[in-house]
Amino acid sequence: METLTQQQIDALLETAKVYRLRAYAPYSGFKVGAAVLTASGRLYGGCNVENASHPAGRCAEQTAVQKAVSEGETELLAVAALADGTGVCLPCGVCRQVLGEFNPDMWVVMANLSGAVEVVRLSELMPRPFRMRQDANRPGEG
């Protein structure tokens, strides 16, 4: 995908806003909503789900990816992450790795509730993702 349209950005952010309200964040209070756009044009939303055993929790971006994949969608074109804060919501390192598994050059829309928005390619945020094989796009391929 050469570029994201404003309509696609708006749809990603609106979906992320809806899912942010569903976040389960009793420990940090930091609610995040996310949405992924697939090649079929469908949007899948997700929210962060915390757990008392911290590693058992899940980030919003990962939730959205898992929902898309569980529905048979593996061609991800873009992701949006939205939270309340002074800056835009950047995906964490684990989320960047998860996203890169499906499209290392996807668009990443980062935003906050105050209206700040930044759009970059995932490859700018994570220029050298881990690969099982250096010549493969996905583990086991190539």
For residue range 122-138, what is the model confidence (pLDDT) as tens digits? 999 999 888 886 555 55
Domain boundaries, the chain: 6-125
Domain 6-125, architecture per CATH: 3-Layer(aba) Sandwich (3.40)
Token pair of 25, please?
């964040």
Mean confidence (pLDDT) of the chain:
93
Of all helices (H) and strands (E), which one includes residue 109?
Answer: strand 107-112
Give this prediction's pTM: 0.91
pLDDT over 90, % of the chain: 87
pLDDT over 70, % of the chain: 92
For residue range 29-43, what is the model confidence (pLDDT) as tens digits? 999 999 999 999 999
For residue range 65-89, what is the model confidence (pLDDT) as tens digits? 999 999 999 999 999 999 999 999 9
Q: Which of 2, 14, 50, 61 is catalytic?
A: 61
Q: Which of 1-5, 101-105, 110-114, 133-137 has the lowest mean pLDDT?
A: 133-137
Residues in CB range of 61: below 8 A, 6 or more apart: 32, 34, 36, 46, 79, 81, 91, 95, 98, 99
Q: Identify whether 61 is a catalytic site residue.
A: yes
